[in-house]
Amino acid sequence: MGQLMKRNIGNILLDGGFILHQDLHCALEEQKHSKELLGQVLIKQGVIKEEDFRVPLLIQEHLGSFDSAVKLAAGERQLLGTLLVNSGRITNEQLDYVVAEQKRSGEKLGETLKRLGMLTGQQLSALLQFQSNQDSKSVSPLRLGELLVATGQITRDQLEDALHRQTTSNKNIGDILIEAGYVHQSGIEYGVRLQKMLLKSTLAAIICLGVNATEPSAHAGTGEMCSFSTQLQSSPMREQYISRLATESTTLLAYNTSTENEVLSDVSDGFSFSSFVTGEKSDSFSQGGSVDSFSRDCLTCHDGGHASDVKIDYRNNPGSKSTKYGRAKDHPIGMDYNNYSAMDPQNYKPVAAFNSKMTFVDGKVGCLTCHNPLKPEKTHLVMSDQGSALCLSCHIK
């Protein structure tokens, strides 16, 4: 569990819910021109307050290895399943499935999670260490008192006084600070909210460290299958992913888990085409919202530090005649394809003319439009791009 590359601040902010993907995209675009630090741009744009931005910086240096990340644990001890849900690794529904499978098999929860391909051994070990450290009294920048000092809610002297009082009291630090008149209840609630967000960032980083440690060549240009795709090859997790794909997205195709033959999802082709072609459009032909959850699955680790670098180019302005997409950049996502094809039929094909393997989440272009993590081949393309066949599924030229 040696030292790895430091997690970038953009990912920490995204993981904790401090900012949205489109906020980061806009800030990075502005940063190209202003040459300012990312934090300065986000603060100037009003996306995040200066005092709030300082807090994630407290943990950034700790998120380069398992050993330092697990020591950030603070707050009440949480169950392993709760930690996984808070990390964004699994949903509550998936946790219910795992618990039912655990009861059936008689295994420990961690062993069930490993068998189902939801955690690697190193990820499980790190999460258990993190869970154990939540009971300790070790110094951590995620401690409520430290967060209150960092955000200017209280002074260092006030915290030291409160900690001294706590040695002869069974009360928590928040109640002691309020009773001493050092902070109001609203200040404590603010600190607790920040603590939960940073815990989420830390847990997400631990999960990604596990991907990197288990598959060291996944981002080194060797073409080997990434850990996420490897885990999707196991039948239970694969079936859950397909079920989620069919129910949470406007999906044209799913894949049979045993034969790889294409099978219709819960959404039929006819219904999907109708939704795209006749679906309602906003007056501005623009639909906001953040990057879809399936693309976030990919981008969680594809940040250049833990897997190959994929830069977010969130775009959804079909009426704009801005600079064309350059081949040197990663393909933009977030585009409402129906709106684009309606506004520019000379360059975009209608969905009814598509190869049926194309997948759009909520009608938008995302990672799954061109890549299918269920496929083990290099880059996981949904179809061959020989002769630009994949590109020409959407583009006329």
Examine the pLDDT at 365 and tell me if it is beyond 60. yes
Same domain, 190 and 248: no
Confirm whether 97 is domain-assigned. yes
pLDDT of residue 285 exceeding 60, the answer is no
> Torsion-angle region of residue 106: left (phi > 0), alpha (psi -120 to 50) or beta?
left
| 207 shares its domain with 247 | no
In the chain, how many domains are there?
2
**Residue 99 and residue 112: Cα distance in Å, rounded?**
8
153 and 231 share a domain?
A: no
**Length of the chain in terms of residues written:** 397
Same domain, 278 and 198: no
The answer as to whether 241 is a domain residue is yes
Mean pLDDT of 350-355: 70
* 142 and 79 together in one domain: yes
DSSP 387: G
Claim to verify: residue 241 and residue 381 sit in the same structural domain: yes
Residue 60 buriedness (CB in 10 A; 0-12 / 13-18 / 19+): middle
Q: Sign of dihedral through CA atoms 383, 388, 393, 395?
A: positive
Collapse the DSSP code of 262 into the 3-class scheme (helix H, G, I; strand E, B; otherwise coil) and give the result: strand
Query: 117 with 188, same domain?
Result: yes
Same domain, 195 and 233: no
pTM over 0.75: no
Looking at the fold, whether 198 and 49 belong to one and the same domain comes out as yes
> Does any domain span residue 219?
no
Name the range with the highest mean pLDDT among 42-46, 131-135, 357-361, 393-397: 42-46
Same domain, 149 and 22: yes
- pLDDT > 50? residue 214: no
The identity of residue 107, as a single letter, is E
In a domain, 221, yes or no: no
| Confidence at residue 148, expressed as pLDDT on a 0 to 100 scale | 93
Let me know whether 246 and 184 are in one domain: no
CB proximity list for 386: less than 8 A, separation 6 or greater: none
Q: What angle do CA 94, 98, 104 make, to 5 degrees?
A: 145
Q: Tell me which residue range forms the domain holding 298.
A: 227-393
Could you say which of 214, 237, 256 is where a domain stops?
Answer: 214
**Domain end marker among 166, 190, 214:** 214
Report how far residue 394's alpha carbon sits from residue 11's, in angstroms, rounded to the nearest whole number: 30
SS (H, E, C) 1-56: CCCCCCCCHHHHHHHHCCCCHHHHHHHHHHHHHHCCCHHHHHHHCCCCCHHHHHHH
Over residues 344-361, mean pLDDT: 75
For residue 61, give the amino acid letter.
Answer: E
10 Å Cβ neighbour count for 91? 15
In-domain check, residue 322? yes
For the cut 90, the answer to whether the pLDDT of residue 206 exceeds it is no
Question: Is the confidence at residue 215, as pLDDT, over 60?
Answer: no
pLDDT at 47 over 70: yes
Residue 314's SS3 state is strand
Q: How confident is the prediction for the chain on average, in pLDDT?
A: 75
pLDDT at position 316: 76
Domain boundary among 187, 214, 241: 214
Q: How far is Cα 318 from Cα 307, in angstroms, rounded to an integer?
A: 31
Max Cα distance, the chain (Å):
76
Q: Among 4-8, 123-127, 170-174, 388-392, whose mean pLDDT is lowest?
A: 4-8
Is residue 111, in this structure, part of any structural domain at all?
yes
Residues 304, 305, 307, 311: is their CA dihedral positive or negative? negative
Phi, psi of 371, deg, nearest 5? -125, 140
Residue type, position 129, single letter: Q
DSSP state for residue 325 in the 8-state scheme: P
Residues 120 and 238 in one domain: no
* Site of tokens 């009440």: 76
